[in-house]
Amino acid sequence: MRPTEGDPMKAMIARTWGEPATLEYAETVPPVPEAGEVLIEVRAIGCNFLDILIVQGKYQTRPPLPFTPGAEAAGIVRAVGADVTQVGVGERVFALPGWGAYAEQVAVDQRHVYALPESMSDEQGAAFGLAYQAAWCGLVHRAALRRGETLLVHAAAGGAGLAAVQLGRALGARVLATAGSPQKLEIARAAGADVALNYRTEDWVERVKQETGGRGADVIYDPVGGDVFDGSTKCIAFEGRLLPVGFTGGRIAEVATNRVLLKNFSVVGVHWGLYSERDPGLVRRWMVNLLKLADAGKLAPVVWKTFPLRDAAAALAAIGARESYGKVLLVP
């Protein structure tokens, strides 16, 4: 995207690598959509743990400074560049730009823009994309989760976790969920978890074994890493699939290959962003399937709280401190 000399807009700007508190709420020139891009007037913004990492300079992708973070947005198409065919001016859309969404306007490659169903609000649209895409990528594309299998979801009350719980239930799996408080356990149950385990107060590894008759979980969805990943290798089933989705726990675990050998289980990486870059058409087909499930009432984003755009640092701090559940949103 390129800047224009039009009326300025408000955005959160990272001028250096650091904590979210270093973000500046400032005026900047709005973007002009280039060929293949869509200009969106932003109505709602999804916040994610990856936004914290990208501001810190710790994410796989490092935008050139200064930049505006934000990987999810929903709003109205206000202009389109040449060769845009996916959406038109005036349409309600949601988008996955990678970064740039913490602003009043954002220009996004049309390959990452989707028509927002009439049944979804702007807030639901901003909360829908990344979490459910990652869940589909992991559970369907990478793990081939089958009806009747047991799925274990860690951090099950977070945005990524709740999406995996809901999708696992929709796919016909028996869902076990871990979380760190009674309130979050109830949220996981409400999303469809059959069994909810408090990782702070009980031995969740032994509970998983008990709940599966000693067999273990067929598929484990792990956005946490570290000790949680280590424990998962002890309660996974024969020929199970262990899915590292992220590392919100802070430590990147190492695999004890003797355990892999003894149970013939697979460690299957889930890096959704690579599919978004390499095969946007595949990702669009996944989104079609996800929206069908949402329309059928089987998938529905859970929103914890909505903050004004200027309070983006507070919103990200809540995610980083694990105060939130479901999705955290910003509104310009």
Q: Give the confidence band of 3 by pLDDT, cuts at 50, 70, 90.
A: very low
Give 124-151 pLDDT, tens digit per residue.
Answer: 999 999 999 999 999 999 999 999 999 9
10 Å CB burial of residue 182 (0-12, 13-18, 19+) is exposed
271 pLDDT more than 80: yes
Residue 6's pLDDT band (boundaries 50, 70, 90)? low
Cα separation of 40 and 226, whole Å? 38
Question: Taking residues 175-187, what's their average pLDDT?
Answer: 96
State which CATH number among 2.30.30.30, 3.90.180.10, 2.30.30.40, 3.30.70.20 fits the domain covering 2-129+274-331: 3.90.180.10
Residue 4 has pLDDT above 90, yes or no: no
pTM: 0.94
Q: Provide the mean pLDDT of the chain.
A: 95
- Record the tokens describing residue 226, joined without a space: 């570290």
pLDDT at 322 over 50: yes
Mean pLDDT value of segment 241-262 = 87
Of 183-192, 211-220, 248-257, give the lowest mean pLDDT range.
Answer: 248-257
Residue 136 to residue 287: CA distance in whole angstroms:
9
- Distance CA(274)–CA(94), nearest Å, equals 20
User: For 23-70, what is each residue's pLDDT tens digit?
Assistant: 999 999 999 999 999 999 999 999 999 999 999 999 988 999 999 999
285, 304 Cβ separation under 8 angstroms: no
Domain ranges of the chain: 2-129+274-331, 144-267
Average pLDDT over residues 283-309: 97
pLDDT-based confidence at residue 259 (cuts at 50, 70, 90): confident
Taking each helix axis as running N to C, give the angle between helix 159-170 and helix 182-190, from 0 to 180 degrees, rounded to the nearest 10.
40
The answer on pLDDT for 2 being more than 60 is no
Strands 31-32 and 2-3, sheet pairing: antiparallel
Q: 206 CB contacts (<8 Å, ≥6 apart)?
A: 235
With 0-12 CB in 10 A as exposed, 13-18 as middle and 19+ as buried, what is 300? middle
319 by DSSP, 3-state: which? helix
Whether 1 shows a pLDDT value over 60: the answer reads no
Residue 249 confidence (pLDDT): 75
Fold of 144-267: Rossmann fold (3.40.50)
Burial of 16 (0-12, 13-18, 19+ CB in 10 A): exposed
- Cα-Cα-Cα-Cα torsion 277, 272, 24, 312, nearest 10 degrees, comes to 140
Conformation bin of residue 225: beta by default, left when phi > 0, alpha when psi is -120 to 50: left
